[in-house]
Structure 1
């Protein structure tokens, strides 16, 4: 995302480079960053606004190649790397410090643990690897991760490490064919891997983005000391703009980067190569150049602002007031960063004289990181662990097998098999309570976001959740013949969005009940718009934090109820409107939720005590279609 040039550490060189800045390229940066902002603000506003990042990579490849190859003399690698550090690091680490401080205040401890891991990877410019393998059901949503955007800056820094050496080692006459070949082969490889189901891995991979840098490098070498005729330049710019516009409006994210990444990269390359014409003139207008000038800081700051707003509100779709705050805060922070951090750091000369300032800045970063952990834990009195989780993860069969997966009376025979996603996993203590009261045991097999039944559409799950889902589907298939009672629970609000799942559930209930097994389907528990643990923290901090019900779960419960009622032998048990949830997220004054839609250990145990008799009656009732709603 950086947009400065490689300056020799002397005033004459700096002035010469400043004069050579391409205003149309600055304007292209504005297009790229505005596309990213629109997409991040709301993904429906600009379908493929994320390709703005790829445009940045093309621009970086162009600028760096031009700077490394424009001189006939030996390239000063030390000066090059020093210029990159001055250009990127000060504003970047300033952002990290501020975001770490804010996150330490706002984030509940479990969420801050995820944030702190991302902070460490961001500080080392390896966050692309961290986020490529990031996955946890209970982590904040991707749009609530304040440092998610640093993956692209990590890739850029990694590119800067090896590319100058490669450019120096390749003889001048071989650079153009070498870069062109590298771009072609790399695009083909990325396309092949993406078609092979490796999209998530490719998205955050430096190797997958190398061909995008190479497009810019090829343009820099082709157009060095060349200027196209006016007519050709105008046509090239218009075609490039049309390609880029089509890419922003039409590319499907599921197919990206892949072969489709060629389109916006070639479009950006054509615009850069044109240099003249109506498109270049438009890009070189004062407003576009101004936005392009602050584009690096704007990219740095906009995402943390947006992520922290979403973390606080619990909503992806923001109100007009929050969107205005996002826009004003992002531009204001970007301008302040550009004016008081970027510009002074870029113009600073004499590395030896700057050493004390760099050392002091490093100390500030370390102190903030050290203090953030302690501040996060001390601002609000922590809740007992049993109120912050639904079970100890190492003791339950959630995506894996842990012992016999038994809950309830330890030495009793298995009375029923319990299956489902995390909304079944939250019932481990529920079935401990029910089993102990009834003198029986339950076997609980669950997986994140996955109801482990035949035909479940595993492909829609995040990559990290797919193998555990398949493993639990196999485990359920093996355990099912050994029981004559089955309990199914799920986050129906999520699951029923899939037609494939709806069919799989219908078929499973019909087949299981048809095999003379008693089947009980539990309704989804009430869900809130925001995480109750976060609301508690915000309230303790004196911040306004209203808690309202999400209503989508009710419609989903009705859908599942309809399937159960038309399947003989299946009972639908719904406690969502019962007295137990009348004061949710509290029950008799005690917090029973761990987040917006899962009960905690205490809540699950109390729920089990409340529901035990009804569950027993549901199993003992003769074959019937009638749902039970206490």
Structure 2
């Protein structure tokens, strides 16, 4: 993104002269993004800082193109974009790749490699639009997530020059205005479609009108002949609208028509050119931050992502926030001083580019070799809870049966991934206990009627709805149903608790026996990651999560209200006495899910209790 300019940058190639207020807008944009990413409650709509950058980019690039006119050199235009964006971008990717190779577990590093490939090709927005895996690192732990905006900007540069170069000047403003309205409308319509918000958020077409607003300011020449009084009024109104946007816009309904508000606000400030708002934005401190804004943007997110990955939590303690600010500034200043500025010069020699490219390639290659060398890889059965292509998790595969297949009338097992982790459990317990179990599950979802699907991550919703539909016939014919879930995730939802109560009530009326399994103990840190951190010599600690036991209690109280419903709780049993270990072996694959080894051992432990519970249901 064109976020960074030197303090004395005259916006060469743009023909608009140096404007300190635009540098100040860049500072506001990057600070808003950094504050939002550090803690979203501090600035609820700080994410619109990216949209501020898009408007500024549209304004600057269209100024370049209009200045050159028919004399435009396509090679020089794109070479200028490359010099501004690529050098520090490659340095960031190289360093992030090395840190990822050291810090990330092999499974997590496999996700990183895919994101790195998309970042190098500037298609990150498409990659993250389709990204969704329950056991992938969380979004706040993906070190290259922020590259989606760079991808959109580079893609936008492919067609804006064509529009401005080939469309007659007298029709250009009208065309850009019509296209802006059309694409804002497109984003709003797409946003209204079910489970589509994430795809719209990362969509080039949904972001195009933000660039076009900036381009429209340039092409129309609005503001150039305004009086000082009118410039003052428009600038103040633009600042007020921008402040409103930063506080009140809801990310869940963004982009779309709501994204037009900050774009119009930024357009008003750019158009006003002079006045108290523009003078404030041109203050030296903001101009200095604006000069560093591109480097600040590139470095801030990986720093936060790695901190969160190591700590295993989204909200960072204040000492880590302070470290984040300091480290981000130092990295940004260094990259701006020694990479961004030198390689942007017209006099830079080609050998510097060759050296930079070679260093980047070598660091990436070394990282790919380094990651599996940090520690001996864990056996596969300790990194997953069951072969993903053999279980009915999010889809139906075969008959979904576990345990003793010769037994008729299988027990129906439903729930989210905390039920899916019991596939191996019911294989062992079913064979020894002489019963069969049909296990049908979905990520983040307890597939029962009236489940509040809209609450869960959008990548889980389609599978959740599919499993709810698939289970209807099985539930109608079941005599015994077992429900397992990560209760601490679901209990806070009043809608879910109401749906669960309705389900249990209906089962009681139909004389269907229901066994509700307690959630297994949960921890504050991914336990496989802790093992890697220890191998690196980093300080580690294992602490139990404080919420799961209370959630178990609430579900137990609900279950006890209904006839024929039994709450079965092994979470405080002898089996979990030394959790996350059993006889010195790690039985968890992350902070809350058992691995295959743990699930089998858990099944061996639970057999007599399950046999007793099932025998009671048949009486």
Please state which band the TM-score falls in when normalised by the shorter chain.
over 0.9
Q: Secondary structure at the match of 1:294?
A: helix
Aligned to 2:442: 447
RMSD, matched Cα:
1.9
Post-superposition Cα deviations, 1:229-271, rounded to whole Å, max 9, x if no partner, equal 1111111110000000000000111111011111100000001
Within 5 Å, give how 1:88-487 maps onto structure 2: 88-197=85-194, 198-223=196-221, 226-349=224-347, 353-354=349-350, 356-487=351-482
Partners of 1:613 and 1:317 lie apart in 2 by 42
Q: Secondary structure at the match of 1:417?
A: strand
Partners of 2:363 and 2:504 lie apart in 1 by 54
Q: How far apart are 1:223 and its partner, in Å? A: 2.7
Aligned to 1:604: 599
Q: Secondary structure at the match of 1:584?
A: coil
- Mark the CA change 1:65 to 1:144 in structure 2 (over 3 Å): closer, same or farther: same
Q: How far apart are 1:402 and its partner, in Å? A: 1.4
Aligned to 1:51: 48
Q: Secondary structure at the match of 1:599?
A: coil
- Mark the CA change 1:16 to 1:617 in structure 2 (over 3 Å): closer, same or farther: closer
2:574 corresponds to 1:576 = no
Give the conservation status (yes or no) of the 8 Å contact 1:126–1:151.
yes
My pick for the range that moved more, 199-208 or 321-330, is: 199-208
Q: Secondary structure at the match of 1:603?
A: helix
Q: How far apart are 1:18 and its partner, in Å? A: 9.5
Q: Secondary structure at the match of 1:528?
A: coil
Q: How far apart are 1:16 and its partner, in Å? A: 8.1
Aligned to 1:628: none
Q: How far apart are 1:344 and its partner, in Å? A: 0.4
Within 5 Å, give how 1:544-559 maps onto structure 2: 544-559=539-554
Q: Secondary structure at the match of 1:550?
A: coil
2:561 corresponds to 1:563 = no
Partners of 1:14 and 1:183 lie apart in 2 by 25
* Pairing partner for 2:28 from 27, 31, 34: 31
Partners of 2:416 and 2:203 lie apart in 1 by 31
Partners of 2:617 and 2:96 lie apart in 1 by 59
Partners of 1:114 and 1:219 lie apart in 2 by 41
2:81 corresponds to 1:84 = yes
Q: Secondary structure at the match of 2:392?
A: coil
Partners of 1:14 and 1:349 lie apart in 2 by 17
Q: Secondary structure at the match of 1:266?
A: helix
TM-score (norm 1): 0.95
Partners of 1:4 and 1:181 lie apart in 2 by 30
Q: Secondary structure at the match of 2:413?
A: strand
Q: Secondary structure at the match of 1:407?
A: strand
- Mark the CA change 1:425 to 1:240 in structure 2 (over 3 Å): closer, same or farther: same
Partners of 2:420 and 2:147 lie apart in 1 by 33
Post-superposition Cα deviations, 1:144-171, rounded to whole Å, max 9, x if no partner, equal 0000000000000111111112210111
Give the conservation status (yes or no) of the 8 Å contact 2:70–2:165.
no
Q: Secondary structure at the match of 2:354?
A: helix
Partners of 1:265 and 1:425 lie apart in 2 by 45
Q: Secondary structure at the match of 1:418?
A: strand
Give the conservation status (yes or no) of the 8 Å contact 1:421–1:450.
yes
Aligned to 2:3: 3
Give the conservation status (yes or no) of the 8 Å contact 1:5–1:64.
no
Give the conservation status (yes or no) of the 8 Å contact 2:15–2:67.
no
Partners of 1:13 and 1:617 lie apart in 2 by 80
Give the conservation status (yes or no) of the 8 Å contact 1:569–1:623.
no
My pick for the range that moved more, 605-614 or 234-243, is: 605-614
Partners of 1:192 and 1:472 lie apart in 2 by 27
Q: How far apart are 1:574 and its partner, in Å? A: 0.8
Partners of 2:428 and 2:491 lie apart in 1 by 29
Give the conservation status (yes or no) of the 8 Å contact 1:92–1:300.
yes
Partners of 2:465 and 2:104 lie apart in 1 by 33
Partners of 1:73 and 1:398 lie apart in 2 by 58
Q: Secondary structure at the match of 1:556?
A: helix
Give the conservation status (yes or no) of the 8 Å contact 1:414–1:443.
no
Q: How far apart are 1:14 and its partner, in Å? A: 8.1
Aligned residues: 616
Give the conservation status (yes or no) of the 8 Å contact 1:415–1:442.
yes
Partners of 1:47 and 1:580 lie apart in 2 by 44
Partners of 1:313 and 1:247 lie apart in 2 by 32
* Pairing partner for 2:66 from 65, 69, 77: 69
